[in-house]
Amino acid sequence: MRSSKSRSRNKSGRNNRSVGNIVNRVFDSSGPEGKVRGTPQQIIDKYNQLARDAQLAGDRVLTENFQQHAEHYLRLLSNAQKEQEQRREEQERQNRERQAERDRERAKRQEREANAGGDPSEAPQPDVVDGPSDDSGLVETPETKKTDKPKRSRKPKPKKDSGEGQSDDSPKAEGGDGAPEAAE
């Protein structure tokens, strides 16, 4: 058996908690004839059915008891639905305000474009800084630095023959300078 001190601490902690989605939450209700489990709407329906059965049996006290239980869950469900409706309306209001703000911004932008002549090419353009023509705004690296030394061209490597007669196209037949002869 639990102590009353422990129980009271748990109850006070539950009251401060946010309820969440009560409409779909499953409850355990301890009624006069045992536990009833389900969503608030299911519990309401069950207690209303039990109240009808008790009324048909002629037990007015039990009928009233079941009706009170059903009324409790009906109030719980009603309050939860009202809160959901208020949250939904608040979200819709905020969405309308955001849309109105976007529409105002769009209208301002269109008005500015219309006042600028409507043609974007006629709108004022930013100034271009005149500088050296080769300045692209890139960082200079050792590979891109210009040097005063002329680049040497590489001579093609001579082809190695298998020892057969050399053709007139070979670099050795050209005189050893490595430049190919012009084709006629």
Number of Cβ within 10 Å of residue 178's Cβ equals 14
Instruction: Give the pLDDT confidence score for residue 150 in this predicted structure.
Output: 63
Is residue 113 very low, low, confident or very high in pLDDT (cuts 50, 70, 90)?
confident
Higher pLDDT, 39 or 184: 39
Reported as a single tens digit per residue, the pLDDT across 9-66 is 555 555 444 556 888 888 888 888 888 899 999 999 999 999 999 999 999 999 999 9
Q: Return the top range by mean pLDDT from 34-38, 42-46, 136-140, 158-162.
A: 42-46
Beta carbons within 8 Å of 4's beta carbon, 6+ residues apart: none
